[in-house]
Amino acid sequence: MFNLIRTVIAFAFTWCLFYGRIVEPFLILMCLGLTVFLYYFGRHQHSQALSIDLLAQKSRLKNINPTLKFWTLIALLIISVASRNVFTGVFLIMTMLILAVFAGGLKLHYYMHVLTLPVSFLLIGALALLFEVSVEPRGIINLNVFGLWLCVTANAQIETTLIVSRAFGAVSCLFVLSLTTPMPNIIGVLRRARCPDIFIDLMYLIYRYIFILLSLHHQMHNAAKSRLGFRDYRTSLRSTGGIYSKLLVRSYQIGSKNFDAMESRCYDSGIKFLEQPKKVTGAHLSFFLVFVLVSLFLSLLPL
């Protein structure tokens, strides 16, 4: 159901964003392409919870120096957010796809699958930015709602396109960082940057338990489904409530056991990871430097 709602919102957003700027036959094809993309990859399921860290361990880019990679991608994220045009966002979206899939060896459907959720949130937020409330019709698209008009103006389309390109470019940078850099390496970079140990420990534990709870939820859902726990609406509500109440209890139990295990191993502060040093090669340094400079140049171009 959520997947269907998401595809409808995607179609409406794309139509409103480009209406009047693109010929209608091509616009219809574009809307249908985006909705098919979100519907297919949004419903793609795996046998267990998709672990981003597992994908990072398999990436061919994991052997690049994590400090160089981390700060380069953070710099690109800042450039994307501060850019003055859509070219930077589009450039980063395409290059991050190439880096993750073709250079990193990640399967395309995995990359698209992890992107569907942030794309959905971006589209919902952008749809709200598109519309303005007015007492009279004054836009390209005008909808009468209880005596008021919801209008989509040309300026709103331009501003929303810029915001979406900025956000999507930044999200792409974050996903490439997480999909090509194992969590222990990211923690090592943060520790060398003098980040407090308490923040690093909390970040790692929260990150780890997200996937533990996802896997536990997946098991509970399958168990309820195999017992016809979702055969009708009433039963589905009861099964869903039971799953989440038990999930809350299990999360406390797992957290308590984990804390006992850490205490028994003389934990005081700072979760330590064994890291293998990775050299900064001239080729990697040159590539990332050119990458940042090209992105910075694009960000300074007028809209």
23-46 residue pLDDT tens: 878 888 888 887 777 777 666 554
Answer yes or no: is 32 within a domain: no
* In a shared domain, residues 174 and 243: no
For residue 45, give the DSSP letter.
-
Answer yes or no: is 63 within a domain: yes
* In a shared domain, residues 85 and 171: yes
Q: What is the end-to-end Cα distance of the chain in Å, rounded?
A: 38
At residue 106, the pLDDT reads 87
Find all residues with CB under 8 Å of 46, minimum gap 6, and list them. Answer: none
* In a shared domain, residues 107 and 141: yes
* Contact of 243 with 217, CB cutoff 8 Å: yes
Answer yes or no: is 103 within a domain: yes
Cα–Cα distance, 79 to 82 (Å, whole number) = 5
* Contact of 42 with 3, CB cutoff 8 Å: yes
Structure tokens at 125: 């937020």
Answer yes or no: is 200 within a domain: yes
Answer yes or no: is 166 within a domain: yes
CA nearest neighbour of 38 among 103, 113, 99: 113
pTM of the model: 0.80
Residue at 215: amino acid letter: S
Cα–Cα distance, 201 to 191 (Å, whole number) = 10
Cα–Cα distance, 120 to 271 (Å, whole number) = 34
Range of the domain at 227: 196-264
Cα–Cα distance, 136 to 142 (Å, whole number) = 9
Answer yes or no: is 129 within a domain: yes
215-227 residue pLDDT tens: 888 888 889 888 8
* In a shared domain, residues 99 and 170: yes
Strand 141-145 to strand 131-134: parallel, antiparallel, or no bridges (unpaired)?
unpaired
98-121 residue pLDDT tens: 999 998 888 888 888 888 778 878
pLDDT higher than threshold 90 for residue 6: no
Answer yes or no: is 41 within a domain: no
* Contact of 229 with 235, CB cutoff 8 Å: yes
Handedness of CA 12, 13, 16, 20 (dihedral sign): negative
